[in-house]
Amino acid sequence: MAYAEVPGGYLYFEQRGAGPDVVLLNGGLADTRMWDSTVDWLSACARVTTWDYRDNGLSSTSSAPYDEIGDLLAVLDAAGIDRAVLVGVSDGARRALGFAHQHPDRVTKVCAVAGSFGEFPDPTAAEEAARIIMRAHFARIGELLDSGDIPATAAYDIAAWCPRVPDPARRLLTNLAIANSRILQMPEAHGQELDPPVKHRFAELKPPVHVLIGKHDFAGTQLWTHRLATQARETTLSVLPHADHMPMFSAPAAFREWLTHHASSSSATRSRAKRTPGQNSAAAGVIASCCIDPGQ
């Protein structure tokens, strides 16, 4: 348990375990507590760092724009991390990829889980249809927020994103969303990402990217995952048939298998073949094959 000092605030982080460095990045309305069950087993083979973004968990609140990438760099420096595997879920995947773009020398690889990037540039018909569904979801969130009922807002949001998460974990995620509801109520987020954003720059990413998506996630998120896996230069794509937006809760055994494989990979290895979206289909309720060398 420690804090990294940043301009205008501080960032809370924790470290457990020993071995190769793995840094976990939360979903947008969560904090370090979402990773407790993952850290329990991952810290047996890695030094695991979890941290809270500004306006989340035990980190400071923000009152002005700040550099998201600079914040993660401050955590790595304060935690004594030279180079790490970055594991980001949802908005955390976007943050991890943005950092990897700007600081590839500090990143072994990115494990991007259900990455969320907002509106599609030059959308296909399928992507535009998927965004219509997402806009309707966010419009309903806005209506619930206007009523002042934060618990109902959080419950609705988590139920939509996480239809396959068992009740105990869903309650955890709902309560984390309530605890971090400041973000929902801010007129605009203060975090500043790459300019232009990383969603326009997947092809420029240098570190390998391992992509994971659940078949029960929003269609828009699934389509973003396929964009990332298609456009980034060194990728694998894995699809979990029984998972949703939070596979560490909806398909914990398969998520553990996938992350153990990729997080324990040597920093010197690289995937030998790019996987296109159609190449890694899920089968029989287990993780889709990543089709890479066992040594990776």
Q: Tokens representing 166?
A: 């068992």
Q: Per-residue pLDDT averaged across 214-219, rounded?
A: 98
The domains of the chain are located at 2-124+189-266
Look up tokens 């000092």; give the residue. Answer: 5
Q: What's the CATH number for 2-124+189-266? A: 3.40.50.1820
d(CA 84, CA 91): 19
Are 28 and 16 within 8 A, CB to CB?
no
Give yes or no for residue 255 having a pLDDT over 50: yes
Res. 138: pLDDT tops 70: yes
Stretch (H or E) spanning 238: strand 235-240
Name the more confident of 75 and 268: 75
Angle at the Cα of 253 (from 25 to 244), degrees rounded to 5? 60
Quick one: pLDDT at residue 285?
30
* Residue given tokens 């326009």 in the structure block: 200
SS3 174: helix
Determine what percent of the chain is predicted with pLDDT higher than 90. Answer: 85
